[in-house]
A and B are shown apart, each in its own frame.
Chain A
């Protein structure tokens, strides 16, 4: 709780100061910038070329210099017949190369399909390769071991992880894509996934220790399959209303704190007033995930978990260059009827946690998110308040009066300042923790499906790696690609869990654009729990400090050809465990190797 008070005060002052003062912009013309639209996770959408047409022939100088001259009659000898404007360059002798995404390419929706004038196809192919050595706390299997001499609870934590995704995204569009949003779009994005994990202990990768220390798995996930319909334009500047139905990417906020995923839903969206306002009204019903790839698994029954979302983006609020977004999201989870085990035979629902009884919950999130610039600085903020009811608290132990009220909050802010080729970032985040596991209130903040791009994102150890709460149940202290200490069975399959210790992150980071193709980023984050009383009860351990420790990381991003189509990244992170972490874990059998690390080598090739 000490963390919350101290860091909260600092962050509030910084945020308020940044929002209050930016005199340099006063009185200048208001330039309306587009709000950063929710970014698809896996597929980079290519926006068709919007180049101004140039008239080839200028009139002779008119008498009145301000008057535009009449069009020149084309001379018959100079007239070259072309089928349409798209194929102009063919007639100029430019050869089309289907493998070249950088020049006009029918596969990239630069030109309509042959025989049509407004049907386009857009193909994207992305190869994503990850090699990830890491050391994370790893339990020794209680029922059998890899090797003799393992007398304790914590085993050898060294692990290797390999991932190869091949993303193929195919869109069919109808519409005059160069000038306005397409009228219709069908898109399907299958992802072919291969993962390999190597660990040093048994029963970590699969529940059966007989399955050993290595797991190879393949999966075909459908990450996008939607129909997008442009209902109407509502202004001459193409403000519009559209709907999109099917598996689609969606993010509730700028940084993926509450929900960022590709899920099945129906969404009505559009804008008004020259894009000054943008809105989304959506309903999503979540698909089950594949355990090892995290991709959608259409072979499983759809989950009994749905959410309704409405949000509104307002540009230039409260000041020029800053976008504010207001959100209301209601999540209804009805997964209280049967046990669900993942592909590796570990229980996911209900979590192996507390009394392990089935339960369901309703929770509403009220959110404010902001992103933009304030004077010379950039600022991102996010605030959520969660309230609702859990029909059965797994911790409070009540038999009759066993429901609990959910009351939790989340706040994050990341100001940054650019100095020439150097950016300095500050990160602050707090998710409230539950203060009394036995009362009728659940005060730990839990998200639907977080994917935070914050404080270093997956460069950071804490955010990148999932850490099992060894000795405290079949739950993760923190999820892979998550910043919250949610204590849920997994982000992919598990229910939200509002009985958790919360998290307080304070960090400072830098981005150095060393050359146009080379960026170096560093992150120094300090992590602490908000309140460890739930952890203490789960482990029957009275002494658990709040301080998790320091998470230090650095990443090099290299774009050898100056383009986004080939991006290579190498990052390394280490967690220097603080007293709270040491109260919970040992990272290896011997007590010496305390430092945990996460190395990420990532290559992304995009067509």
Chain B
């Protein structure tokens, strides 16, 4: 047995070393392949007598084609199926558009794009996730239906990649947009955020993610509250036909990946149920114009012709290896973002803090670099929770912001799922924001840009400052101004429809709606501050004309004095994976991590900052323990700050590695 153990350790070490050296190959979809994928999906839809809208995107969210079968156009009804009425978040939002005279909005095309982006963004060479996977991990219990169990690990991720994000790039069909997005390449936004409606799958070539396919055919954009049954979801089956030839390897599918001992859902049916034979599918040319058309989607796709995908890892995709040497020697290949210009230029290289300035204690370029380096080093040394094979390294994106949410640096391990790019920034900003002494005041200056009356209400009539009142009712009148350090896990505790999380019968957290009106389409503060932006964007894409697109920053607050950037310019995120950055007791920023298990995300941010603080010796580090939100007593007990994972590191038996730090 001892001999076996030695062999085992040696093998693990080899795997680990192998992983560190590995880099995924560059793969991309050709236009012919995009046509084949669409044609396969259309054949299955026809065999099932449904009219589908098929969207195909590449790994970074470029829309490569949107094919609307004859009769497929129509309104997308948004509903969780819980019977929640209009004006509650996105629930029944199509009725709101009808009232505004925008009949038919949102269109089904948007649903198809959101699903395709979700399939592509959640997946990597280590994990193949679908919109069904997303559905399983964003609900009030994990698993959905397991009463009393805490919420899904990615609770709230559906409101990322938002159309108002200052990070997510706009499609080139409209030229370089105004505002802060200084790039044409890189992760694209999604019209409705990420989708939990089955019918979105990833596409692979040679084990590498090359994109995603999304199907909308039933006109309902929803969730599946029951995951213990086995659905025969037509949208999913049509997507499965489209995916034929571009499937992920069996071994990395969600159903082989376990979180808290629970395997994740990949799909509910397999290729045996197909009514068509993908191998015999007619050419795309033979169906284009006869069975439907490539249709334009303003802000996403010009229509008319198929587009080839970009290869992730090539700077044209917006992601490639760091050219500046900022992250050499951290244990693996590090990717950064690129802007798509000619010649391509890296985005978000480490820079000095803007607010506070470096003279006033803000992070210096060297400090930002060290924080990201330390975090990436932790990631490369750690055991992934959502990747196969076993003993894979954690793959994530790390974002650092200053106290006002200005981006100071973003970098990622080479195969982190794309969604984590935007989400890590959301998390970093959320931690920095709620840890500031002006958070409460700031939220009170919410300023609707689409005619909320008064302007402190959003277009659904929700008053943002009421969340401040609610949180003070729970945590005391000094909350959001007393300088308590909120990690995203702590704020997340307050953003669930039950407090404590998952416990049926308990009241809602102060940043959430009560369970009666809560749904993944109506989360609370997180959605209410960006609802106007999403509504504006939908009018722009579907109707156009005088309807301008939302700006490249989410939400608006009069406290910002008219500058376009807000402190939460790509929206709040409410699941764990970030901590605020302190220097000598003062919050000066935040570090956010996304892409692996939430405990891993927590640890990479917390330990990364801790290690950087030791390496720097400049007073930078985690919040003083006495200031952290886990000192606060909420119903059920103290809030959590971070939860570092069991058996965190590869090749080590260490546990409880965040204790005492």
Contacts and interface: CB of A to CB of B under 8 A. Distances in A.
Interface in B595-638: 599, 606, 625, 628, 630-631, 634-638
B73 interface: no
Contacts of B651: 543
A140 B506 CA distance: 20
Contact of B256 (A397, A469, A475): A397
Given A210-B637, A542-B391, A547 B263 contact: no
Interface in A21-79: none
B261 A152 contact: no
Interface stretch (B103-111, B147-155, B174-182, B203-211): B147-155
A399 B230 contact: yes
A586 B659 CA distance: 12
A144 interface: yes
Q: Which of B8, B267, B385, B636 has the most CB of A within 10 A?
A: B636
A540 B8 CA distance: 16
Interface of A: 2-3, 6, 140-154, 202-203, 207-210, 339, 341, 345-347, 350, 352-358, 394-395, 397, 399-400, 438, 469-475, 528, 536-543, 545-547, 579, 582-586, 589-591
B389 A152 contact: no
A540 B145 contact: no
A591 B143 CA distance: 31
B99 interface: no
A153 B146 contact: no
B637 A144 contact: yes
Contacts of A210: 500, 503, 506, 635-637
B634 A144 contact: yes
A356 B147 contact: no
Contact of B630 (A150, A345, A475): A150
A352 B635 CA distance: 26
Contacts of B5: 545-547, 579
A303 to B, nearest CB: 19
Contacts of B256: 397, 438, 537
Nearest to A212: B637
Contact of A141 (B258, B272, B637): B637
A58 B643 CA distance: 87
B640 A144 contact: yes
Q: Is the interface of B mostly helix, strand, loop or mixed?
A: loop
Nearest to A532: B8
B502 interface: yes
A473 B643 contact: no
Given A397-B255, A539-B647, 13 more contacts: A145-B639, A147-B638, A148-B641, A151-B641, A345-B503, A357-B228, A400-B270, A471-B646, A538-B258, A543-B8, A543-B651, A546-B4, A589-B656
Contact of A341 (B12, B148, B261): B148
A591 B661 CA distance: 13
Interface size class of B (residues with CB under 8 A): 35 or more
A471 B261 contact: yes
B12 to A, nearest CB: 5
21 contacts: A141-B500, A143-B150, A143-B493, A148-B628, A151-B643, A151-B659, A152-B659, A208-B636, A352-B143, A352-B260, A352-B262, A354-B261, A397-B253, A397-B263, A399-B267, A473-B262, A541-B390, A547-B1, A586-B656, A591-B654, A591-B655
A540 to B, nearest CB: 5
A339 B253 CA distance: 26
A541 B269 contact: no
Contact of A142 (B12, B265, B606, B643): B643
A209 B261 contact: no
Interface in B483-529: 493, 496, 500-503, 506
Contacts of B628: 148
Interface string B358-395: 00000000000000000000000001111111110000
Contacts of B643: 140, 142, 151-153
B14 to A, nearest CB: 12
Contact of B270 (A399, A471, A585): A399
A584 B647 contact: yes
B391 A142 contact: no
Given A143-B150, A146-B637, A471-B645, A541 B500 contact: no
A472 B5 CA distance: 22
B655 A154 contact: yes
Contacts of B84: none
A582 B268 CA distance: 37
Contacts of A350: 228
Contacts of A538: 258, 261
Interface in B133-152: 143, 145-150
B642 interface: yes
A150 B653 CA distance: 19
Q: Which of A151, A153, A469 has the most CB of B within 10 A?
A: A151
A143 B261 CA distance: 18
Contacts of B15: 542
Nearest to A587: B655
Contacts of B230: 399
Contacts of A546: 1, 4-5
Contacts of A579: 5, 653
B418 interface: no
B1 to A, nearest CB: 4
Contacts of B659: 149, 151-152, 589-591
Nearest to A535: B261
B236 to A, nearest CB: 11
Nearest 9 Cβ contacts at the A-B interface:
A473-B261, A542-B391, A542-B390, A144-B637, A397-B255, A586-B655, A151-B658, A143-B501, A152-B656
B660 interface: yes
A473 B146 CA distance: 12
A11 to B, nearest CB: 16
A7 to B, nearest CB: 10
A541 B150 contact: no
A2 to B, nearest CB: 4
Contacts of A395: 263
Interface string B227-262: 110100000000000000000000001011111111
A537 B389 CA distance: 10
A538 B263 CA distance: 8
Given A151-B658, A471-B646, A589-B656, A354 B263 contact: yes
A505 to B, nearest CB: 14
Contacts of A528: 1
B51 interface: no
B345 to A, nearest CB: 37
Contacts of A144: 493, 500-501, 634, 636-640
B644 interface: yes
Contacts of A399: 230, 267-270
Nearest to B273: A400
B17 interface: no
A438 to B, nearest CB: 7
Nearest to A207: B148
Given A146-B637, A154-B656, A353 B261 contact: yes
Contacts of A586: 646, 655-656
A212 B261 CA distance: 25
B47 interface: no
B500 A143 contact: yes
B12 A153 contact: no
Q: Which of B267, B385, B638 has the most CB of A within 10 A?
A: B638
B530 to A, nearest CB: 25
Interface in B3-21: 4-5, 8-9, 12, 15
B640 A539 contact: no
A22 B628 CA distance: 72
B474 interface: no
